[in-house]
Amino acid sequence: MANGKVTGWRRIIRAFGFSMQGFKSCYQLEEAFRQEVWALILLVPLGLWLGETPLERAMLVCSLLIVPIVELLNSAIEANVDRVGLERHELSGRAKDIASAAVFLSIAFAAAIWGLLLIPKWM
């Protein structure tokens, strides 16, 4: 909730705390997010090792970071839809499906970047 009385560093610190609460709740409640975090823990060091140039390393790592970012947005959309009502509704299902498609595309994007950068090195 917006609080116009909190400004400057206090606002930044509070915003950081809210962000950490969001990470914590998503990690606790969303299996997909937990899987993506563990994949990051394994793949980020691998991307840093396999990339030959700073640009390659950045592309490998950043393509991975997009996946949990999109998953956080997907989880937020799902939570909002569920908050409105648990009954089946075409628009609710569409919103969840579209958010899920965004997660799929982020994973496909990361896979494409890794493939385009690494497969030519092994051929």
In whole angstroms, give the CA distance from residue 2 to residue 120.
50
**Separation CA 74–CA 36 (nearest Å):** 13
For 103, the enclosing helix (H) or strand (E) is helix 90-122
Alpha carbon of 41 to those of 35, 44, 46, 52: distances in Å?
A: 10, 6, 9, 20
The catalytic site residues sit at 71
